[in-house]
Copies of this chain bind each other. A is one copy, B any other.
Amino acid sequence: MPLRTQGEKPPFQHLTQQQKELLYEQACQFISDNKKHLLDRLAPLRTRHLTVVLEDIYQPHNASAVLRSCDCFGIQDLHVIQRNNPFNPAPDVAVGASKWVDYYTYPSTPHALQTLKAKGYRIVATLPHHNDQIITDLDISQPTALLFGTELTGLSTEAVNIADAYVKIPMYGFTESFNISVSVALSLFSLTEKIRRHPSLHWQMTHNETLDLKLHWASQIIPHGPEVLRKIAEQCQST
């Protein structure tokens, strides 16, 4: 169950920022103080500066582990290309992460990657390539979409050709590849630490995006959340 599909506007887009602030405060009456503190603490830590693109992952436990890693590292958006395989996270591994991470699905690789490029993302494929670099050396000043391929055959030629850069994780063993979920976690660990420690990079979401996110999260927690929020929003608009 994707939370939002590509192209869909976030709900409450039509409200002013002040109306959204009011809506959020009123919605928070329906959740515990602890939960509200959690939303207020975590939302400003989320980033869209870095995002993950999966091409045709087919094992549910891998899909779930990637969702979970995105949540753990504060990556808000996950983009999923479903060429042959539907994205189907296993609920026990994802531990509810699909509630907190937004994921977007695409029917084809060019569609996904061109959409992201149009939004200003640099597409970085994770695979050994004659032109690759070690992931820790990657320049992360531009918004970056990290692209991972399917379990058995890796990235499609199409994906490799559209990518702007290539990174690999240094390895010192007989085993020549990491499991996909481990690759994603290692890459996100390395790059999120780098962006968070960067002295001047604006990796955070805007105030308005953060507010939208908190509203979205609140609607996930409150029983019948979307409906409850819609009703409160109507009142906010009429006052």
Contact = CB atoms under 8 A, between A and B. Distances in A.
Interface in A1-59: 38, 42, 45-46
Contacts of A71: 173-175
Interface string A175-212: 10011011001100110110000000000000000000
B173 A72 contact: yes
Contacts of A96: 174-175
Interface residues of A, number: 36
7 contacts: A42-B174, A72-B171, A97-B175, A99-B174, A100-B174, A172-B192, A182-B185
A87 B45 CA distance: 38
Given A68-B179, A179-B65, A179-B68, A97 B174 contact: yes
Nearest to A181: B182
Nearest to A136: B193
Contacts of A68: 175, 178-179
Contacts of A45: 172
A42 B172 contact: yes
Interface of A: 38, 42, 45-46, 65, 68-74, 93, 95-97, 99-100, 136, 169-175, 178-179, 181-182, 185-186, 189-190, 192-193
Contact of A173 (B73, B169, B181): B73
Given A72-B178, A93-B179, A182-B69, A189 B172 contact: no
Given A68-B179, A71-B175, 8 more contacts: A38-B174, A45-B172, A72-B173, A74-B173, A95-B175, A100-B174, A179-B181, A185-B185
Nearest to A68: B175
Residue among A74, A99, A175, A193 with the highest chain B CB neighbour number at 10 A: A175
